[in-house]
Chain A
C-alpha cells in the first residue's frame, strides 16, 4: 500500500516551487491550479504544470493536481492538460455530492480515450462543505477511481459559520465523518492543511491528533512541515521490533501449517499481521529499516 503521509501543495503559478518541490520528498506533490492561482495566471500556470508533470524530476514522485471545478471556464482545460501530461491523481475541489465525482470521472475517461492512454487516472475528492461532509459516505464509495477523500477545512469552517481554532473543535464532526467514510470504503483519508506555518508546536499537536484518529496523512503548505510530519507518523522502535516478531512468527506458522500463533501469550491473527506489515512499511519509509529517509 502506497504511503501518503504528506501531500505538499505547490501553487502552479510559483515557478520556483514547481521546479523544486520534488527535492523535499513529500509522499505526493500536489500542484494547485485552483485557489492559489490568480485568474490572470490560470493559463500560464496550467502550462507550467503540464510541462513539470512530464519532466524527469517528477518521474519517481507521485503527482496530484488540484484542478478548477468543471463548472468554471478553467476546469475542462485543466483536465485536458494534466491528463495528457500523465498526472497520477486529480484532486476535485469542493466535492458536495456523488455527481461531482461522476461528472469529473466521465470527462477524464473521455480524455483518456481520446489520447489513447492506458493510464487510469485516480481521483481524490476534497470535501469542503457541510453538504459534502453529510454526503461523505456516498462520495467515498461512488467510484473505483477514488483513492481518497480529504478535508478542506478553510472553506468548510466558512460554510459552518465558524472559524479555525487551535483546538480544532470546529472540525471534530467533519474529521470523524470523513475518516469513517474513507475507512468504510477502504480508501485513504487526508486531513486539511495547518495554515500557520510559524506555529510549529501547533502543527505537531494537530499532526499527532489526526494520526491518532486514523488519518493516512495531511495536506501541507510548507516544505518544512514534511520531515516533522514524517517523524510523527514513524512508528516507535518498540512497535517495529514487535512487528518484526509478529511477521517472523506468522511466517514460521505458515511453514509449519499452523493457523494461529501466539507471542508472549497473545494470539496473532490476520488483522494483527496486517497491522504489523503496515507498521513495517511505515518504518521502512521512515528510514528505520534501511528505507528512504
Chain B
C-alpha cells in the first residue's frame, strides 16, 4: 500500500522537537514543505531523511509539512513514523521497517 488513508500529525512546536503534518495526495510524489531554523545548513539532509523514511515504509502519494525546531534526526524520524502510523490505522506495526 503506497498511500496513506487520511491526514494526520505528530510532534510539537517545542524546542528540539518537530511538528509534522501529512496528507494523502493524488500524484505519485513525496511532497515536502520544510520550515526549519537550520534549513540553510541542514535543509537538504532533512529532506533526504524524510524521503528515505517514507520510502522505507513503502509510501508515496504523500504531502509532508515539517516545522522543525532543531530536532535531531531520530526525532524527525519518530515523529514522521508516528504521523504515518496514525494516518494508516493498522493492528500490527512492522517494526523492522521503522
- Chains A and B are bound partners: yes
A residues adjacent to B (C-beta < 8 A): 15-16, 18-20, 43-44, 47-48, 50-52, 54-55, 77, 80-81, 84
Task: Please determine whether B79 and A44 come into contact, CB atoms closer than 8 angstroms.
Answer: yes
**Is there contact, CB below 8 Å, between B74 and A52?**
yes
Q: Tell whether B93 is near chain A: CB-to-CB under 8 Å.
A: yes
Residue of A nearest to B95 (CB): A84
| Contact A47–B78 (Cβ < 8 Å) | yes
Measured between beta carbons, the chain A residues less than 8 angstroms from B59 are: none
Nearest opposing residue in chain A for B76, CB measure: A51
Chain A neighbourhood of B17, CB < 8 A = 15-16
- B82 in contact with A44 (CB, 8 Å): yes
**A43 with B82: CB separation less than 8 A:** yes
Chain A residues lying within 8 Å of B27, measured Cβ to Cβ, are none
A48-B75 in contact given A15-B17, A16-B17, A43-B85 (Cβ < 8 Å): yes
Which of A20, A48, A55 has the most CB atoms of chain B within a 10 A radius of its CB?
Answer: A48
Nearest A residue to B79, CB-CB: A44
Q: Given A15-B12, A44-B10, answer yes or no on A55-B74 (Cβ-Cβ < 8 Å).
A: yes
29 contacts between A and B (CB under 8 A): A15-B11, A15-B14, A15-B16, A15-B17, A15-B71, A16-B14, A18-B75, A19-B72, A19-B75, A20-B16, A43-B82, A43-B86, A44-B10, A44-B11, A44-B79, A44-B82, A47-B78, A47-B82, A47-B85, A47-B98, A48-B75, A48-B78, A48-B82, A50-B78, A51-B74, A55-B72, A77-B93, A80-B95, A84-B95
Q: Which residue of B lies closest to A52 (CB)?
A: B74
Supplied contacts A15-B71, A15-B75, A19-B16, 6 more A-B pairs, CB within 8 Å: A15-B14, A18-B75, A44-B10, A52-B74, A54-B74, A84-B95
Residues of B within 8 A of A81 (CB): 95
Query: Closest approach, in angstroms, between the C-beta of B93 and any C-beta of chain A?
Result: 7
B95 pairs with A51, CB closer than 8 A: no
Contacts of A44 in B (CB 8 A): 10-11, 78-79, 82
Residues of A close to B81: CB separation below 8 A: 47
What 0/1 readout, one digit per residue, does chain B (53-79) give for beta carbons within 8 Å of chain A?
000000000000000000110110111
- On chain B, the residues within 8 Å of A48 by CB distance are 75, 78-79, 82
Give chain B nearest CB distance to A42 CB in angstroms. Answer: 10
Residues of B within 8 A of A15 (CB): 11-12, 14, 16-17, 71, 75
Q: Considering only CB atoms, which chain A residue lies closest to B77 in the complex?
A: A51
Could you tell me the distance between the alpha carbons of A52 and B98 in the complex, rounded to whole angstroms?
13
Contact of A51 among B10, B78, B93 (CB under 8 A): B78
CA distance A43 to B8 in the complex (A): 13
With A15-B71, A19-B72, A43-B85 known as contacts, the answer to whether A50 contacts B14 (CB < 8 A) is no
B69 shortest CB reach to chain A, Å: 9
Taking CB atoms, residues of chain B closer than 8 Å to A47 are 78-79, 81-82, 85, 98
List residues of chain B with CB within 8 A of the CB of A51.
74-75, 77-78
Kindly list chain B residues whose C-beta atoms are within 8 Å of the C-beta of A84: 95
Of residues 25 through 63 on chain B, the ones whose CB sits less than 8 Å from some CB of chain A are none
What are the residues of chain A within 8 A of B93 when measuring CB–CB? 77, 80
Q: Which residue of B lies closest to A15 (CB)?
A: B17
Closest CB in chain A relative to B90 CB, distance in Å:
12
| Residue on A nearest B83 in the bound complex, by CB | A44
